[in-house]
């Protein structure tokens, strides 16, 4: 019998991929050959987080990397995570430059920007990395702009920013502008993710500069880009003759919290909608249809009317209607339209479908969309909101189990290739206009845990039955939700008195 270390390299790599992290650590101690094989699995991601330790400790860590005390780390690392959100990093500048420069094999960088002096050094070092192909920027605390157009070999760019004062001359605005220059400059860039979340009660209105047209403004329709994956959050989006040529090769489209121009002011606003009346009023183009927002923005209904005509064959669709302030009738109308031709046109290619809804309605799982969903036989990842029963806090409702079981049975029967199932839930429609229409806000975690418990009960009931054979390998319940919290005068100097939505996490996410 052949000993494990003597197996061919291909088999060893396959075995290493199947064992968990602790087993990989143990295997690495067996012999040098196994240690070399497991380097890329154990040491593939390296974090230089200068915010989690004192300046002296951070400098010691950087100097250790520079001195070659752990050569395997620099040799095996493919993903480098950098956090420069520190109050004083002047003493670490030289060590940081040399440490990053030592990671010549790094292909992916996630960078949480912060201190200006450190960020300037990081930028200089990243430009020199020969194999860098994916760059994720967290620019909320950035003091400098990143000239993305100098990274001519990037294949994926991810920018996340939640600053409120986003403007063309801010570091965030200039970074966004340089992304447009990069798109026009290189043909290698195939994946873009831009997430803008910097709007609050102090915001005067949506910033029209954050839009798809601006990203593609330097690209000629006669020389279309070959974008494969596009994810946009909190932006204005319009697909027309200017933008459509560059999107014809998309296989993944993610549109979350897209700002929709309005032709009239809504009759009422939801206190749970995160934004004040003045913000939504800025989207009203009734008196100025030729405004910038009208020219570069469109509704989700308009977007999903255009997409079937483009003959795209999407493999991934992600939609989040969480913050839309539409009326229930308008929301249900859009859902009915989407579950028709726009979804059916991708049935032969779609492998990931994630739909999240803030409120109960036709976006949620139900008999009116089952037929359309059942046609998606290639789905491997499926996520959808349920319409749960909202009982009093701490009360269990037996009907909850029926809803969860119907959904799990449907997923099991309809999607033979399903690997991951994600479950979220909608809120009662009356919450669109009343803060506590459904009772105490404690109902939100109560319903969440009730749905989670029903998923667990379903798994236990069918654990030893043939039915379990077709269940996905993982079932996730979205564990993040928003809970309203009141801030009285003087409690928080950075907030005005009033209600705010606070992000809350439950204890668990994965059930089976």
Domain assignment present for residue 116? The answer is no
Query: How big is the chain, counted in residues?
Result: 512
Q: pTM value?
A: 0.82
The range of the structural domain enclosing residue 442 comes to 343-425+434-512
Q: Which residues are paired to 80 by β-bridges?
A: 46, 109
pLDDT at 179: 95
End-to-end CA distance of the chain: 38
Domain assignment present for residue 449? The answer is yes
Domain assignment present for residue 444? The answer is yes
Q: Strand runs (DSSP E) across 321-365, as ranges?
A: 352-356
3-state SS track over 246-267:
HHCCCCEEEEECCCCCECCCCC
Record the tokens describing residue 394, joined without a space. 């701490």
Quick check: 375 and 410 in contact, CB under 8 A? no
Cα–Cα distance measured from residue 452 to residue 476, given in angstroms and rounded to the nearest whole number: 9
Domain assignment present for residue 488? The answer is yes
Domain assignment present for residue 401? The answer is yes
Domain assignment present for residue 331? The answer is no
Buried b (16+ CB within 10 A) or exposed e, 470-504: ebbeebbbbeebbeeeeeeeeeeeeeeeeebeeee
Domain assignment present for residue 10? The answer is yes
pLDDT at 488: 56
Location of structure tokens 């913050």: 323
Domain assignment present for residue 457? The answer is yes
Q: Which residues are paired to 353 by β-bridges?
A: 317, 382
Cα–Cα distance measured from residue 364 to residue 398, given in angstroms and rounded to the nearest whole number: 20
pLDDT at 473: 59
pLDDT along the chain (512 residues), means of 10: 70 72 73 74 81 77 81 84 82 87 93 92 94 95 94 94 76 92 94 78 60 91 93 90 94 89 58 51 66 82 87 92 67 88 92 89 90 94 83 52 84 88 79 51 69 78 62 62 50 52 46 36
Number of structural domains found in the chain: 2
pLDDT at 508: 40
pLDDT at 252: 96
pLDDT at 221: 86
pLDDT at 506: 46
Tell me how many degrees the CA angle 132-136-140 measures, rounded to the nearest 5: 140
Q: Which residues are paired to 45 by β-bridges?
A: 79
pLDDT at 510: 39
Q: Strand runs (DSSP E) across 52-184, as ranges?
A: 79-83, 108-112, 134-138, 156-161
Record the tokens describing residue 276, joined without a space. 């004040």
């Amino acid at each position: 019998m052949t000993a494990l270390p003597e197996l061919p390299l291909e088999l060893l790599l396959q075995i290493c991929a199947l064992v968990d992290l602790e087993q990989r650590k143990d295997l690495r101690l067996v012999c040098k050959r196994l240690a070399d094989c497991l380097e890329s699995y154990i040491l593939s991601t390296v974090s230089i987080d200068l915010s989690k330790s004192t300046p002296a400790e951070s400098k010691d860590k950087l100097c250790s990397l520079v001195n070659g005390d752990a050569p395997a780390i620099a040799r095996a690392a493919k993903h480098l995570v950098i956090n420069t959100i520190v109050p004083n990093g002047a003493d670490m500048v030289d060590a940081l430059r040399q440490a990053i420069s030592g990671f010549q094999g790094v292909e992916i960088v996630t960078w949480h920007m912060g201190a200006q002096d450190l960020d300037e050094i990081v930028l200089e070092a990243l430009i020199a990395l020969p194999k860098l192909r994916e760059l994720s920027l967290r620019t909320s605390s950035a003091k400098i702009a990143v000239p993305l157009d100098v990274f001519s070999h990037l294949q994926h760019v991810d920018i996340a920013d939640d600053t409120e004062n986003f403007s063309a001359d801010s570091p965030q605005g200039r970074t966004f502008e340089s992304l447009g220059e990069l798109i026009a400059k290189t043909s290698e860039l195939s994946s873009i993710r831009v997430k803008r979340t910097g709007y609050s009660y102090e915001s005067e209105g949506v910033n029209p500069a954050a839009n798809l047209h601006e990203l593609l403004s330097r690209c000629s329709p006669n020389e279309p880009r070959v974008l494969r994956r596009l994810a946009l959050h909190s932006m204005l989006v319009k697909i027309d003759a200017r933008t459509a040529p560059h999107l014809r090769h998309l296989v993944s489209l993610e549109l979350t919290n897209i700002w929709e121009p309005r032709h009239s002011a809504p009759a009422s606003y939801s206190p749970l909608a995160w934004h004040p009346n003045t913000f939504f009023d800025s989207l009203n183009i009734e008196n100025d249809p030729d405004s910038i927002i009208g020219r570069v923005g469109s509704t989700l209904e308009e977007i999903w009317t255009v997409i079937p005509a483009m003959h795209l064959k999407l493999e991934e669709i992600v939609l989040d209607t969480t913050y839309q302030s539409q009326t229930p009738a308008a929301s249900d109308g859009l859902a009915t339209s989407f579950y028709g031709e726009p979804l059916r046109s991708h049935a032969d290619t779609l492998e990931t479908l994630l739909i999240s809804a803030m409120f109960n309605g036709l976006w949620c799982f139900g008999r009116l969309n089952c037929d359309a969903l059942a046609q998606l036989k290639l789905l491997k990842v499926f996520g959808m909101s349920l319409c749960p029963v909202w009982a009093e806090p701490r009360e269990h409702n037996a009907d909850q189990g029926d809803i969860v079981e119907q959904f799990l049975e449907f997923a099991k029967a309809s999607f033979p290739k399903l690997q991951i199932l994600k479950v979220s839930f909608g809120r009662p429609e009356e919450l669109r206009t009343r803060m506590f229409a459904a009772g105490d806000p404690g109902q939100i975690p109560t319903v969440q845990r009730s749905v989670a418990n029903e998923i667990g009960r379903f798994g236990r009931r069918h654990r030893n039955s043939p039915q379990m054979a077709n269940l996905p390998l993982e079932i996730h319940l979205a564990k993040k939700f928003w809970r309203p919290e009141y801030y009285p005068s003087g409690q928080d100097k950075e907030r005005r008195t009033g209600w705010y939505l606070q992000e809350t996490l439950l204890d668990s996410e994965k059930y089976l």
